[in-house]
């Protein structure tokens, strides 16, 4: 594997050895987030299944309401009207709220002049967004309303407690190679980590603790890992184990160790194994305990069997009681007994309940009009872009139209609304592309992607236009824009050309657009256009052999200029100086073959992002090929890859690049590159994107490692680039 992965970590996190957890902020009792993330990540077929049942564009006016947590939400008429609901002539009986394709029962209060709606909202369980998108329409049909049922009077001594399980997690650490991918703490022995757990109204009763861990290191010596676990100073576990992989620790907490309110979990990795390194990752903590039926901040949710209940802790008058066993069809329970701040009622079957005071209603995160798609019939050049970049793309769209293509620009927001019911997801983009008949020749994605779909890290690189993360033999999660164009779940070979401008700003988009137009309208006979530079690392003979083989594929009058580190006895500085000099002099093609990482080529480094200031090649812009590893890692939330930096460089750099997003092996890289060079120089494919597409179509994707390069080598730049 030609990668400097050992020198650059794919784990990025912000960690404090003392963490605090509050259930109201971090806990959703249904569908634990990381479990759902694993499920979605591993179901590679999901995008094709969902594409088949995605919604079709709807012409009626609609609003989407975004929520981030479970709870009862109230939305007032003025908020809806600011987002686009007509101020007059709205029949309130026709207000309909949906989550996906399911209508949700709502409560409408007030009259047409001053009304509000209430609904029970759920936190997003999707790995792709931190928000659930509910959508509201009117004037179509009578809407579903919450049923009201009468409370049953208590007939036996009421229960005053219930069993609650909280799940604490604060994802701050990403590990592509692991199963869960997102973790809370890295425990590198020797270390002591303390976590504050708030257990509202906990009773002094036995409880159960579960730590969800991942052993991240492995040694020939056994055991690899040792962890002691203390709960409020009571040692509840002392465990050793061996190997890498998932490892839960389950422990019993004695009654005398439980406290109402703040509790302290202490994890001690003593570092006393014989392993050279002992690193364990903590993804989440689960505590199953007995809790008093006392509301916190006028709000409590709980599960209970049949029987009578007394719920205390309400100071602002009688709360509302809801049966939320089916969150999509909650029922308001009326006439429950209320006295001395306590609500008393009886359940005739196991149910889930919400008791909530008037002051505890939640507000939605955002309300926005839902968009419709522009006409796409017969478009052969489809641009999918973040809305911020539409204006900056206009010159490129006009340029493509002048050159005979039929372009259409579609925003990610419009696609989410039409094919994802308003929810952000690459699945919606794939569903939109599947709907296009006939298929386009080219699809250009515009906007930065990030593996941090849910923005856990609040990092500078946001997920503006998402990509797919796919499992590969050498890395469990790798970006694949190829998945948007793949023939099917079983056949990764693309059916149209796809490329990406991974921009973060309008200025970056405009810069690349100017480069593309200048490259295609420039002097075709310029000397630099007949030069191809080949750069090779000296760590493996196969690197030079691949470079020589590709150079032989060049037709006249293109001349190969070889800059091999081995030719200069491994002198990194001299080799780098020659790379910069020849790059500045101009070449239409530059190929680097060797070890690579996110922002460097070879050890030394031979060339890296630090050297970008030395490049002054102005309008002499090459197309870059890097059969290496990680050079096109455009989905990092905190850093930019070397290929991106070169693409966005203002006084030179590159006009496009065919680069990898993950790890792969040189023989498989060479197979793809040979096919690509054949399409470019022998078959003369009309555009760069079509050359790559045709090369991938020749690959045997039944071979797992060949499929890997098909999935993970992508085009940064315009797939319609005429080279």
Highest mean pLDDT among 11-15, 49-53, 714-718: 714-718
Q: What is the mean pLDDT of residues 250-255?
A: 98
Q: What is the mean pLDDT of residues 413-430?
A: 98
pLDDT for 522 equals 83
Give residue for tokens 């928000």. Answer: 131
Q: How far apart are CA 89 and CA 72, in angstroms?
A: 27
- Give the closest residue to 151 by CA, choosing from 308, 316, 325: 308
Q: What is the mean pLDDT of residues 528-551?
A: 98
Find residue 192's DSSP bridge partners: 268
Task: Encode pLDDT of 69-79 as tens digits.
Answer: 999 999 999 99
pLDDT classification of 1: cutoffs 50, 70, 90:
low
* Residue pair 715/443 in contact by the 8 Å Cβ criterion: no
- Give the closest residue to 292 by CA, choosing from 315, 316, 317, 258: 258
Beta-carbon contacts of residue 194 (< 8 Å; ≥ 6 apart): 17, 18, 19, 264, 265, 266, 267
DSSP 282-344: EEEEEEEEEEESB-SSSEEEEEE-SEEEEEB---SSPPEEEE-SSTTS-EEEES-EEETTEEE
Mapping DSSP onto H, E and C, the string for 641-686 reads CHHHHHHHCCCCCCCEEEEECCCCCHHHHHHHHHHHHHHHHHCCCC
Residue-averaged pLDDT of the chain: 92
Assess whether pLDDT exceeds 60 at residue 49. Answer: no
Beta-carbon contacts of residue 502 (< 8 Å; ≥ 6 apart): 447, 448, 449, 634, 644, 647, 716
The percentage of residues in the chain with a pLDDT greater than 90, rounded to a whole number, is 90
Assess whether pLDDT exceeds 60 at residue 30. Answer: no
- Give the closest residue to 721 by CA, choosing from 469, 500, 452, 435: 500
Assess whether pLDDT exceeds 90 at residue 526. Answer: yes
pLDDT for 524 equals 79
Q: How far apart are CA 550 and CA 545, in angstroms?
A: 9
Q: What is the mean pLDDT of residues 24-37?
A: 34
Task: Encode pLDDT of 160-178 as tens digits.
Answer: 999 999 999 999 999 998 8
- Give the closest residue to 432 by CA, choosing from 25, 5, 51: 51
pLDDT for 309 equals 98
User: How many beta carbons lie within 10 A of that of residue 305, not counting itself?
Assistant: 10
Q: What radius of gyration do the chain's Cα atoms show? A: 29
- Give the closest residue to 723 by CA, choosing from 660, 673, 680, 677: 680
Task: Encode pLDDT of 355-407 as tens digits.
Answer: 999 999 999 999 999 999 999 999 999 999 999 999 999 999 999 999 999 99
Q: What is the mean pLDDT of residues 574-583?
A: 98
Domains defined for the chain, CATH in brackets: 18-27+161-292 (2.60.120.260), 33-146 (no CATH), 521-716 (3.40.50.1460)
Task: Encode pLDDT of 302-349 as tens digits.
Answer: 999 999 999 999 998 999 999 999 999 999 999 999 999 999 999 999
pLDDT for 588 equals 98
Residue 49 is encoded by which pair of tokens?
């299944």
Q: How far apart are CA 433 and CA 50, in angstroms?
A: 13
Q: How far from the centroid of its chain's Cα atoms is residue 291's Cα?
A: 35
Q: What is the mean pLDDT of residues 78-106?
A: 97
> Cα-flanking dihedrals φ and ψ of residue 550, to 5°?
-70, -35
Assess whether pLDDT exceeds 50 at residue 597. Answer: yes
* Residue pair 197/168 in contact by the 8 Å Cβ criterion: yes
pLDDT for 60 equals 63
Q: Is the dihedral of CA 465, 471, 473, 474 positive or negative?
A: positive
pLDDT for 179 equals 85
Q: How far apart are CA 73 and CA 88, in angstroms?
A: 24
* Residue pair 157/308 in contact by the 8 Å Cβ criterion: yes
Q: How far from the centroid of its chain's Cα atoms is residue 22's Cα?
A: 24
Beta-carbon contacts of residue 89 (< 8 Å; ≥ 6 apart): none
pLDDT for 35 equals 37
Assess whether pLDDT exceeds 50 at residue 549. Answer: yes
Give residue for tokens 């400097």. Answer: 4
Task: Encode pLDDT of 609-664 as tens digits.
Answer: 999 999 999 999 999 999 999 999 999 999 999 999 999 999 999 999 999 999 99
Assess whether pLDDT exceeds 80 at residue 55. Answer: no
């Amino acid at each position: 594997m030609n990668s400097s992965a050992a020198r650059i970590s794919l784990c990025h996190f912000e960690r404090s050895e003392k963490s605090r957890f509050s259930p109201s902020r971090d806990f959703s009792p249904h569908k634990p987030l990381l479990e759902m993330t694993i499920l979605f990540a591993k179901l590679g077929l999901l995008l094709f299944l969902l594409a088949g049942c995605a919604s079709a564009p709807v012409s009626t006016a609609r609003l989407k309401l975004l929520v981030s947590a479970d709870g009862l939400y109230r939305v007032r008429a003025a908020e809806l009207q600011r987002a686009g609901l007509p101020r007059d002539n709205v029949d309130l009986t026709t207000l309909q709220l949906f989550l996906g394709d399911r209508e949700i029962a709502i409560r409408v209060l007030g009259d047409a002049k001053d009304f509000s709606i209430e609904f029970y909202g759920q936190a997003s369980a999707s790995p792709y967004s931190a928000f659930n998108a509910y959508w509201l329409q009117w004037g179509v049909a009578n809407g579903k309303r919450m049923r009201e049922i009468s409370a049953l009077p208590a007939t036996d001594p009421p229960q005053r407690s219930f069993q609650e399980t909280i799940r604490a997690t604060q994802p701050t650490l990403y590990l592509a190679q692991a199963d869960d991918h997102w973790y809370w703490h890295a425990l590198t022995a020797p270390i002591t980590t303390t976590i504050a757990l708030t257990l509202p109204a906990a009773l002094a009763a036995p409880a159960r603790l579960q730590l969800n861990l991942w052993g991240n290191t492995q040694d020939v010596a056994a055991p690899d890992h040792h962890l002691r676990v203390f709960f409020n100073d009571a040692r509840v576990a002392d465990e050793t184990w061996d190997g890498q992989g998932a490892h839960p620790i389950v422990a019993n907490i004695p009654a005398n160790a439980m406290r109402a309110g703040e509790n302290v979990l202490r994890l001690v990795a003593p570092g006393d194994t014989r392993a050279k390194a002992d690193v364990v990752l903590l993804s989440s903590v689960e505590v199953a305990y007995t809790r008093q039926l006392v509301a916190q901040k006028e709000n409590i949710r709980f599960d209970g069997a049949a029987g009578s209940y007394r719920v205390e802790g309400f100071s602002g008058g009688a709360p509302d009681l809801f049966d939320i066993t089916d969150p999509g069809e909650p029922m308001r329970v009326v006439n429950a007994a209320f006295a001395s701040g306590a609500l008393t009622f009886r359940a005739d079957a196991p149910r889930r309940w919400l008791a909530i005071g008037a002051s505890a209603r939640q507000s939605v995160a955002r309300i926005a009009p839902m968009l419709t798609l522009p006409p796409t019939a017969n478009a052969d050049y489809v641009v999918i872009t973040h809305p911020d970049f539409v204006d900056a793309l206009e010159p490129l769209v006009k340029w493509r139209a002048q050159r005979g293509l039929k372009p259409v620009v579609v925003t990610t927001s419009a696609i989410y609304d039409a094919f994802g019911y308003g929810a952000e997801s690459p699945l919606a983009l794939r569903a939109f592309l599947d709907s296009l008949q006939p298929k386009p020749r080219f699809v250009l994605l515009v906007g930065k992607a990030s593996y941090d779909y849910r923005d856990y890290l609040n990092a500078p690189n946001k997920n503006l236009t998402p990509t797919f993360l796919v499992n590969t033999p050498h890395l469990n999660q790798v970006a694949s824009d190829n998945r948007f164009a793949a023939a099917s779940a079983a056949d990764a070979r693309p059916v149209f050309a796809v490329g990406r401008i991974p921009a973060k700003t309008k200025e970056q988009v405009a810069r690349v657009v100017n480069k593309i137009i200048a490259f295609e309208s420039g002097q075709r006979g310029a000397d630099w256009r007949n030069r191809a530079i080949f750069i090779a690392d000296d760590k493996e003979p196969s690197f030079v052999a691949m470079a020589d083989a590709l150079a032989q594929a060049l037709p006249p009058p293109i001349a190969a200029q070889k800059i091999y580190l081995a030719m200069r006895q491994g002198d990194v500085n001299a080799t780098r100086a020659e790379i910069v000099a020849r790059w500045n002099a101009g070449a239409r093609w530059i190929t680097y073959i060797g070890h690579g990482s996110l922002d460097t080529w070879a050890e030394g480094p031979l060339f890296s992002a630090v050297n970008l200031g030395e490049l002054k090649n102005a309008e002499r812009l090459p197309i870059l090929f890097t059969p290496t590893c990680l050079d096109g890692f455009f989905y990092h939330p905190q850093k930019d890859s070397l290929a991106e930096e070169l693409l966005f460089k203002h006084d030179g750099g590159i006009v496009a690049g065919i680069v990898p997003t993950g790890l792969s092996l040189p023989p498989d890289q060479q197979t793809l590159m040979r096919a690509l060079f054949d399409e470019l120089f022998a078959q003369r494919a009309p555009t760069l994107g079509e050359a790559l597409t045709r090369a991938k179509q020749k690959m045997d994707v039944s071979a797992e490692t060949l499929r890997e390069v098909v999935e993970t080598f992508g085009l940064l730049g315009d797939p319609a680039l005429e080279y």
